[in-house]
Each structure stands twice: as C-alpha cells, then as structure tokens.
Chains A and B, each alone.
Chain A
C-alpha cells in the first residue's frame, strides 16, 4: 500500500484511537432503541415461517406427509426439498448441508420442511403436524465409533517435526493420557433470525443476523437459482454471534428468501430458542490423547498428539477447525520432536461449527494437560514446568508446522503476571490452607495463551471498505465486517476520525450491506478490526490524497508538496497555511474532486502448504496469561473461582475499554465452556440440554470477586492497524487456568503426587467423579 501522507500513529496525536470511547450503540442499547432484525418495523405483507424437524438422528425418509400442515389455521405455504428451484446444498466449503433433509435424515432436529402462516404462533403450531415416516438406521454418536469405522467428514491431516520415535524412547519419563473435551452452545442472546422481502426486478432484500452477509447472499442466489446481483443482504447488528452465525445463519435466510420469492411477500423466520439450540451447530466436542516424553527437569523432548474432532454429520468448517486445534496443541511450548494427527470424525449430530477460538481451545488445552502431567511426575510446580518449556526467543522457536515464533512475549508477560498476582506467596498460603482443611481444598494455576492470528484459509484474509465524505464534512464508512457486540464499528469509527482528525460524531458507521462492499469475508478469526480497519484506513488515505493534492494546488507554494499536508483538529494544515476541514471539503466539491472511495486490504506474509504441513499460516501471535484460584468442595464437587488475574497482549490498544471487555467476556465464556456448560445427548442422538433451563452459561455470581485485568503494553511488531492486535478469540483460552486450578485443588488430595484426569466441562459431578477416582481418601488423611 502506498502511503503518501505520513501517518502520525506513534503517540496518536489525533486522540481518536487509543481512547475508551463507549460502544457506538451504547446509548441506544440501554434505552431500547437499538434495533435487531426482529425489532424492525414490519412490512405490510409480512408472513411468518417455521420449520419442521426430523424426529430421528439417522435413517431413510419413507414419507413426509404435510397435508395436516397445510390444513392448520393460517397456513399459506409449505415447502420441502422438492420445492427448491436451485441448489439444495448450502454448505459453506465442502458439500454436505442440504437446506432440507433429502432422502436421508442426518441428525435429530434437522430441518425437513418449512411452513408459512399469518402469525408466528400459527406457523410454529402447524410445523408440529407433519406425518413423518422414517426407517431408522443406527446412528453414529461418538468419536470413538466414527474413528473405528474411519467415518470422517474430511481426510486426516498430519504435522511433524524432528524424530518423535527415537526421542520418546530416549526420554527419562513418559506419560500418556486421554482427554475428553465437551462442546459448547453459543447461546447468543438473540437467536437466529432473518427477514426476506421480495422486491421488484426479481430482487430480494434480506435482513439477517449473520457474521457472513456475503455468503448468505451467495447461498440465497444459489438456492433461488438467480445471480448474486439479485440479492442484497443487510446486517446492522447481531445480538451476539461467537461463531454461531458464521455459517449457521444462512439456512434460515435462504428459507425466508424462498418463501418471499414464491409468495411475493415479506417473510420472517426466527427460531424459537429450543429449536435454535437443537438445529444449529456448536463448538466441536473433541476426544484427544497425547504421549509425552521428558527429562527429570520436566523439559519435553518428544510429544505425539492426536486430535479428534466430533464434526457432526457434515464438514461445515470442520477441516479448518481441526487444523486450528492442531496448530494450537503446542500453545506456547516448544515441541522439538513431535507428531500431530488430526481426525475429522463424522457423527449423527448437528454439524458442529465455528465457535470463538475455532478449535484452538480444544487443541491448546492438551498442551496445558501435558504441563500438569509432567509437573506431577517430576514433582515441580506446574508453573515452573510451563516456563521451562516456553518457546525461546532466538532458538527453540520453530512450531510443529514450520513457522518461526517471532517477537515472543510470553516469558516476560508471565514474569510480570507472576509478580503482580503474587503467585508464589499465594501458592504457599494455599498449601498451608489445604493442610488444615479436609473438605474444602484450594487450587492455583497460571496458564499462558499463544494464539495465531489470520484465517488459515488464505483467501479470506482480505477486506473492503467504502467511504463517503459529504459536503458538510460528515462521513459514512461502510466495510465488510459485522458488528456483533465486539465494538468493531466503534473501532472503525475511531480509525476514520483519527485519519481525518475530525470528531467521532462526524463519522457514521453504516450497516454491513452486500451492495456497498462486495465479496467480503466473515467477521471471524478475530480478524474484524485487523482486516476492515486497514481497508477503511486505505479508503481514508485515498480521499486524503485527493484532498491534499487539491489543497496543495490551492496553496500553490512550490516548497510544499501534498506529503506535507496534515489533517488534525478539524483542520487541514500545509506549512503556514491552514483551512477548516469542512471548508476544504466544500472547496474540493466545487473543484470537482471525488469525495468517495473504496478501500482494500490483504494480509501480507502468510502461506501454508497442507501437503507438507508447513508454512506461516499466521501473520502474528496474540499472547496472554491468567492466574486463577479456586476452592473446591470435596464432598459435592462444587467449586468457586475466587480470584483471577489476567495480563493480555492487544498490541497498541485502539480502545482499552472495548479490549478489556473482550478479554473479560472471553475469559468468562471460556470458563463456562470448561465448567458448567454441559451438552448432553441421549442414546438416540437427541440433544437433552436444549434450553437455558438445562444448559447453564455463567451467571453474574460466577464472575470472580477479585478480577484483575491488565493490558500488556507493547505495540504489535507487525504492521497491523496502528500496531494493535486482534482480541476477539485469544482471551477465551485464558480460562484454561480455571480448569487447571480445579485440577490443582484435586491433586492436593494426593499431596500433588497424582495428576487427576478431569474431563471438560468440569461440572460438580465431573469434579467429584475425579476425586473419587483417586480412591477412598478419608477425612483424616486429607489433613496433616
């Protein structure tokens, strides 16, 4: 990218970035004025859709009789897979996701048909009335079963470095374990919803709650059998996404569009919560295992890690998700001789999908499990073992996939957190407490995070923006990213205001629309600000270049060039000359200068060769670490997270309040994944934890009373937007310290001799089972 105008990013003299501006919608959100799709004013001819779903997890459809659905009050249309004019498969990457079940049912709760009626209630009542006859077949419901049958949605992938076999044989100690890791329901507060409006010239306008409007546009066009230019998707804000609206929003938008086109009306489809939880994918459950060899100090010399994702019935995004699990099973630790295998197991569950971290958490937790196991074996504090195994600065810095870890902050970051959290004094205090407390035991753990930033699908690392400057100096910026609460629009507004040196109030960030910025990537992989911020900045720079040239010509001083023009404090300055920004814009308009521009960005440096398992899939890494202290009740397995300290790297923060919000929110969400959020399916493949009464995300009392969160002050060494770092996903994995602290507390029952095998989520029941697996330890044996 050309940079004709020098960017004064060091020191941020404009003052618009680096400050904790409130979320752009905060005032509208607290006063009920912020509109979500279901809140939009209703078009006059609005009708309501509902879906009917499969009562079995697998089998052949013998008959689907919808005559009673048609006869139900208020019904105006019913569609099945036979009624789809275009593509039936709406899979994002690899085939396998039919919009409605076709010949076979693939999971319990799969959409089989949809009904349109005059009210939501009528549509949903009618959807219950189909007569469905399925010849059931035996469903595959576990990773183990899928692996035994080699039933994979995509081929396995492997990475390796060094010589595992001989290094393992030569190791002083070896440990091998298996780790079950549960999935996670997104539980965005706003469920899936779309409203499609049939328009003239065969167009359809769709309002949807989606992280990926361009893909929704493409899939609607394919389903309707029309070209993409006939479809406009508008997305102002989501009531939470977390990955659950990256691919999972498309189906409902497509069904609404189908009805709208057939009936030439407006159609809203909003899933009721229980159906949302049953019919949309979740974080993948994983069954992982590892063999690790190490020396008497606990230094790893060999590791063999197997990653097995439960992908559900189709690939969806699972190839990249299991890859990311593999990319993160080292976390921050150097594995000199290592083999990593990743399997994508097919089961008759809903197709599991993107969820904040995208497989990274399920891979990273294996590394932390290894650290605990090693520490117990060599009799060291797990923190010492973690520090010993960190990637080096200039050596011991090659990942299992051949990427050099540059600018590694972890050693310093951990040292700072170790001190600020008073780790060792608290370790002593906890040891003393545990010696005198037979029932309640305390645990402590510090775990790091190293998370790779970039889409591993290289082509997605691009972004576009569209900037309009109006003649009163106000601006609209539009970009391909979507706002789901993460503050992306706030940061983009700050970037634009900063570029022009104008007030934030003069910048309006408008709804993401496929007719403004085309062919966009999903807002995912933590990349929203990195990609769209750079694209928006690029659009700003182009318009600034035009204005600078115009002003330079106006000033007409041969000693000054456009390079010398400065935009700051609502003024534009060139040498001794200065003009108000609004005045310059008006002069430029009269002077016939274009005041609008697109902007574009693509991430440099990245590449990865799947054939060799080598490359640089990530532009950079984001780092962090957390210390958690817990107390567990050894009679019931109940626990409480008493204190958490976090130090996290966001590069140069664009907005510290928003970044801290991402860190805290990500941590608590990760804690939920590892503790109370317990997905349960019954033996027939039916999801039992299918509503918020049976699936428990953290509530307000779960937030630790002591919760210290700090930003690690250091600019990103790479040329990211103002040298900030992505923050959406990495903090979720800070919650590993909660899981490790619970294990630490359990291990205290054995005087830290045994590494307890605790699955995730660590529900009270799982904690108690783990305690009981240690054998019958009497109360008197539990104290000194």
Chain B
C-alpha cells in the first residue's frame, strides 16, 4: 500500500501501476488539474508540487518542491503531497500567491502553479532569500512570458523569513496525520519498498527483471518519453543502509539513495569548491529527488558528479546483501553507460576522502545556459602542492569528452614534481590535454569546441590557482 496525505486528506492506494507518475495521478485520477504538464521530462517545472515530511518524530515539517512528472507515486509514501489548489486559506490567497498577483507575475499562467509551488517551498525555508537563492530555488521553473522580473519581485516580497500560514498553524495536526500513516505496509504488487539490505537482496532475488530506483528522475523518462511500461520496480529510498550520511576519519560517506539536497551541506562543508557544480546540477526540484548513487550508477558521460568524484578520488561501495566491495571510481565506468555493477548489486555509498591541506580544487561546467542545463564539458581539477609550488598530486575528471566520465591520467604522470607557477608547466599540461580525448559533435557542442574547452578550462584553472588575490578576472558569473 502507498499511503500519504493528499493535501489534508489521507489516501491509501493498494493497486495501481508502479510507474504511475504523480502528475498523471493528480490530473487523471484526482481531477486536480492545477498541476500542469509542460514537458513530462523534468525540464520546465510546470508540474512542480511540494512534499512535506517530518524527518524524525517530533521534528519540524520540511517542505521540498519536486517535479511530479518524473516522480512515481511511491515517492510520497508517508509524506504530505501539496498541490497548488490547496495553498489558499479559504478565500485568502497564500502570501506567495498574493505576491504573484500584486507583482503581475502571471501572464499566460501555465507555468504559474509550478512557480507558486517552488516559491511556497522557498517561503517555508523561513529565510529571506538573496537574489542568488531565488535563482537557485526557481531555476527549474521556466516562464516564457514575463522575463522573470515580476516573479523575482514576488519572491522577494513574500519570502521574508516569517512563516505565518495555515500550514504553520496546522503543523501539529499534520505531524500526527503523518505519524498515523506509517503504520501501513509500504509497496504495491509490482512495487517493492525494502527497508534494509537483506530485504533488498531478497527482492532482487525474487524479481531479477526488476528495475532499481531512488529519485526516478531518469528512469521515469523511459515511461514519459519512450512510452515504456516498466516491469516490477524496487524503490531504494527506504533502505536504511543507503541513507547514511557520515564523516569518518578519512572522508565522508554518502549513502547511495540520499537525495542531493540532503547531502549538499555535508559535501560543501568539506568541498566548498563544488558549490557552482551543485547549484547548477539540474534544478532544485530534481535535486530534491535525484541521488548521487543514481548519478554514478547511470554512468552517463555527461553526468555532472562523476567528474568531481574522479578528481576527488572517490570510492564506490557496492553491495549485494551478502558481500560488499569497494571500487575506485576510476575503474567503475567500463563503457558508454556501462559499469562494474553486477545485476544483483547496488551502490550502497560513495566515499570521498578529505582533501589534502594544500590542495586547490576547481570545478567548471560549460553549457549554453547557466541554470538547469547539461554540460557540454565539465572539468574538475584537484591539485596538491608541496613547498615551492611543487606539484605533489594532480587528479582530474572530465564529462562530455568521451564515452564515459574520465580522468586525464597522463596529466599527473607528466606534471608531478613540476613547479605549478611556471607557464612551462601549464604548457606541458596543455599539450597532454589537447591529445587526451576525442570528444564528439552533438546538439550541445561541436567536438572542436569541447576540445578547446578542455584546454581553456585548464588555462583558467592555472590562472586562477596561481594568483593570490584574483588580479585577473576570469569569470563572468559570480560563483567565487
């Protein structure tokens, strides 16, 4: 059974297709047509809804926006699903709704419910956001009419840091309602929701054809774009071992099914240099669902995290319920969307070692658009310097330049021991990088441009890391 609160009513579903998206459920089964389908691929945000949950008994409710078009029903099990129809309090609009009216933030109005829901989630953070925070919160919502200025104004006017709405007033009732839901068994006939590694192994054993998923932001595209009917699904979101988020003596461990938005804080504490990459990784609603484990297992050559993990010498911890193994990320990807993962295995966690004290890390992403775009090229460099600027280690990771995410192995081999501040060192690296990969032409960029970017991002890294006070401006976007 899948149990959740649909707005303020408990709903228990015991039979439906496992691959039913939240959007189709709302529009076709509940006649809640306020939530719109713009693209059915998680790229426009018209379908944005908000999910509230109490992470621990007694804790405050946490509100997160997600794209209902690429989310299966199982994702709201035990949670409250909020739609645009429910925000107003009787005839009184919610503050974010009223602000959008006052700011003239809707024209055709088709994107508006999605913006309202993203803005509602932002409002619930209880902080007055900067323009930058607004861009991050609303970067996954496209508007073709307004040019966004009035929407930004509405967010600034309504998200003041004060949370005073009916959801706040009713929070105790909601928490109780949510607690009552948890007494019900999770899952459906064709949807298994194991809670630990033993159950997960058993589920895979019984359903070898099953597809594993956590955020479903990629898997759901097979349903909405390729029109597939999926076999049995196994959700990883309830598996306790996959929800680990910890600092160990040597590094950090990120559970395979932890959504990006939950692991970002820990990752950025240790690697603030990844700030830009994380902010520009898809959009907030996608990051609320998508997981690091999924991004790695997917093995796409244009995934944004594998280049970072390669440069940071991460290790992939793989499990099958009986035995765990630990694979250096450099060995994990074996071909286009191929990995070392066996059919009965899953990614339990990703381990990232702490950085060295004298390291310089930079992560760069090149795409046509800043928000919510896929890399033409992603490049991450991790340099460790000894005394007198002597290179001790130099790791790297690239996306969009080969059939898999890759490192430039030759770079370290050639440059360790050299003086980083010398332009000859830069030139030596340039020669290596200009021959390291054979990128392809596609819709995002030409092979030539990609090749140039590999070299020019190396140049940017060399320029940036060699100047103490950033005498030369090297970025047009403020991420530093």
Q: Is A bound to B? A: yes
Interface residues of chain A, those whose CB is within 8 Å of chain B, are 20, 22-23, 25-36, 38-39, 41, 121, 124-125, 128, 186-191, 237-242, 272-274, 437-440, 484-487, 631-633, 635-636, 638-640, 657-658, 660-661, 664-669, 676, 678, 680, 688-689, 691-694, 696-703, 705, 707, 709, 763-765, 768-769, 772
The answer to whether B368 and A678 touch across the interface, beta carbons within 8 angstroms, is: yes
The answer to whether A661 and B146 touch across the interface, beta carbons within 8 angstroms, is: yes
User: Counting CB contacts under 8 A, is B314 at the interface?
Assistant: no
User: Counting CB contacts under 8 A, is B477 at the interface?
Assistant: yes
Contact with B109, one of A29, A640, A660 (Cβ below 8 angstroms):
A29
User: Counting CB contacts under 8 A, is B331 at the interface?
Assistant: no
Contact with A768, one of B106, B452, B460 (Cβ below 8 angstroms):
B452
Supposing A31-B97, A36-B110, A124-B227 touch, asked if A240 and B370 sit within 8 A by C-beta, the answer is: no
Task: Name the residue on B nearest A30 (C-beta).
Answer: B97
Q: How far is the CB of B472 from chain A (nearest CB, A)?
A: 6
Task: Name the residue on A nearest B450 (C-beta).
Answer: A765
Q: Among B80-88, B388-396, B431-439, which stretch is in contact with chain A?
A: B80-88
With a CB–CB cut-off of 8 A, which chain B residues contact A124?
227
Task: Name the residue on A nearest B34 (C-beta).
Answer: A32
User: Counting CB contacts under 8 A, is B428 at the interface?
Assistant: no
In the docked arrangement, what's the CA distance between A772 and B453, Å? Answer: 13
The answer to whether A707 and B368 touch across the interface, beta carbons within 8 angstroms, is: no
Interface residues of chain B, those whose CB is within 8 Å of chain A, are 27, 31-41, 43-44, 46, 83-85, 87-88, 93, 97, 100-102, 104-113, 116, 131, 134-135, 138-139, 141-152, 225, 227, 366-374, 376, 442-446, 449, 452-453, 456-457, 459-460, 463, 472-477
With a CB–CB cut-off of 8 A, which chain B residues contact A274?
225
With a CB–CB cut-off of 8 A, which chain B residues contact A632?
476
Supposing A661-B107, A700-B138 touch, asked if A636 and B373 sit within 8 A by C-beta, the answer is: no
In the docked arrangement, what's the CA distance between A26 and B103, Å? Answer: 10
Q: How far is the CB of B226 from chain A (nearest CB, A)?
A: 9
In the docked arrangement, what's the CA distance between A697 and B148, Å? Answer: 12
Q: How far is the CB of B442 from chain A (nearest CB, A)?
A: 7
The answer to whether A699 and B36 touch across the interface, beta carbons within 8 angstroms, is: no
With a CB–CB cut-off of 8 A, which chain B residues contact A486?
107
In the docked arrangement, what's the CA distance between A635 and B426, Å? Answer: 15
With a CB–CB cut-off of 8 A, which chain A residues contact B152?
700, 703
Q: How far is the CB of B36 from chain A (nearest CB, A)?
A: 7
With a CB–CB cut-off of 8 A, which chain A residues contact B139?
699-701
Task: Name the residue on B nearest A678 (C-beta).
Answer: B368
Extra pairs beyond A273-B38, A485-B145 (14, CB < 8 Å): A27-B97, A30-B93, A31-B87, A32-B33, A39-B34, A187-B142, A239-B108, A242-B144, A272-B225, A439-B463, A664-B149, A664-B150, A699-B142, A700-B371
The answer to whether B107 and A23 touch across the interface, beta carbons within 8 angstroms, is: yes
Q: How far is the CB of A20 from chain B (nearest CB, A)?
A: 7
The answer to whether A190 and B142 touch across the interface, beta carbons within 8 angstroms, is: no
With a CB–CB cut-off of 8 A, which chain B residues contact A660?
104
In the docked arrangement, what's the CA distance between A521 and B243, Å? Answer: 60
Supposing A29-B106, A669-B147 touch, asked if A272 and B40 sit within 8 A by C-beta, the answer is: yes
Supposing A33-B85, A189-B110 touch, asked if A664 and B147 sit within 8 A by C-beta, the answer is: yes
With a CB–CB cut-off of 8 A, which chain A residues contact B449?
765, 768-769
Q: How far is the CB of B347 from chain A (nearest CB, A)?
A: 24
Q: What would be 12 A-B contacts, judged by CB atoms less than 8 Å apart?
A: A32-B32, A35-B33, A125-B227, A439-B472, A485-B106, A635-B460, A661-B104, A668-B148, A678-B368, A699-B372, A702-B370, A705-B131
With a CB–CB cut-off of 8 A, which chain B residues contact A28?
109
The answer to whether A633 and B476 touch across the interface, beta carbons within 8 angstroms, is: yes
The answer to whether B474 and A635 touch across the interface, beta carbons within 8 angstroms, is: yes
Q: How far is the CB of A437 from chain B (nearest CB, A)?
A: 5
The answer to whether A31 and B84 touch across the interface, beta carbons within 8 angstroms, is: yes
The answer to whether A20 and B104 touch across the interface, beta carbons within 8 angstroms, is: yes
Supposing A680-B443, A700-B152 touch, asked if A30 and B44 sit within 8 A by C-beta, the answer is: no
Q: How far is the CB of A697 from chain B (nearest CB, A)?
A: 6
In the docked arrangement, what's the CA distance between A680 and B34, Å? Answer: 33
